[in-house]
A and B are shown apart, each in its own frame.
Chain A
Amino acid sequence: GAVVSQHPSRVICKSGTSVKIECRSLDFQATTMFWYRQFPKKSLMLMATSNEGSKATYEQGVEKDKFLINHASLTLSTLTVTSAHPEDSSFYICSADRQGMSYEQYFGPGTRLTVT
């Protein structure tokens, strides 16, 4: 149990376009979902936290108008990178906090975004 999926796994887009990444908890309901960004050989950087039906809480320095997060249900959250630029190229990973399971977070496989 505790499987989280992400789609797509890889995406290449042109500068100025928008990209949507989906995160789903497949076999459990998530109280909270988290979006991270990871640079090469670096640890995870939390971008935002979202709860179903509520506005996301963004970390300091993360542009909420650029990284739009929608948490439509207890099993689905989406991250939209708007007007992407090459500096947005990165590895984006989501995680889900399993309801009633003592704060354990389960991570998706990640999405590699390349902006040309």
Chain B
Amino acid sequence: EDQVTQSPEALRLQEGESSSLNCSYTVSGLRGLFWYRQDPGKGPEFLFTLYSAGEEKEKERLKATLTKKESFLHITAPKPEDSATYLCAVLSGSSNTGKLIFGQGTTLQVKP
């Protein structure tokens, strides 16, 4: 069964304290792994797509990496405005509808 697990469930950081969020997945043929940011009361905002092991993508203080079993979202020198819930999702090779399988999310709080 395709599955996505994110850890930790919640993370508190001081401003400037770098860290990483983990997304572990088991899927029958990965067609894509997606990272989203969601602020309270809003829809998820697209961040990155990764397609193959070894791929990396960066955007401002965020960097996403991918291996055959997991993805990391590295946050360098975070600021309070980076506080949000970060969602990871995968698209399985067995899907013919584009259905994403989401993890439960990591809620990040960055304190000034």
Residue A32 CB within 8 A of the other chain: yes
User: Considering the complex, which residues of chain B in the window 21-46 have a beta carbon less than 8 Å from any beta carbon of chain A?
Assistant: 31-32, 34, 36, 41-46
- Verify A107–B98 contact, CB threshold 8 A: no
User: What is the total number of residues of chain A having a CB less than 8 Å from a CB of chain B?
Assistant: 26
Given contacts A97-B98, A112-B41, 4 further A-B contacts (CB under 8 A): A43-B104, A93-B44, A102-B32, A105-B98
Residue A115 CB within 8 A of the other chain: no
Q: Which residues of A contact B43 (CB under 8 A)?
A: 4, 6, 93, 95, 107-110
User: Considering the complex, which residues of chain A in the window 39-60 have a beta carbon less than 8 Å from any beta carbon of chain B?
Assistant: 42-44, 46, 49, 57
Q: Which residues of A contact B87 (CB under 8 A)?
A: 43-44
Chain A interface helix/strand/loop/mixed: strand
Say which residue of A44, A57, A103 sits within 8 Å of B91 (CB atoms). A103
Closest chain B residue to A50, Cβ basis: B97
Residue A28 CB within 8 A of the other chain: no
Instruction: Say how far B4's CB is from chain A's closest CB, in angstroms.
Output: 9
Given A49-B97, A97-B98, residue A104 in contact with residue B34 (CB < 8 A): yes
Instruction: Say how far A65's CB is from chain B's closest CB, in angstroms.
Output: 21
Q: Which residues of A contact B105 (CB under 8 A)?
A: 43
Closest chain B residue to A94, Cβ basis: B43
Instruction: Say how far A46's CB is from chain B's closest CB, in angstroms.
Output: 6
Say which residue of B34, B44, B45, B97 sits within 8 Å of A32 (CB atoms). B97
Given A104-B34, A112-B41, residue A46 in contact with residue B99 (CB < 8 A): yes
Closest chain B residue to A59, Cβ basis: B99
Q: Which residues of A contact B99 (CB under 8 A)?
A: 34, 46, 49
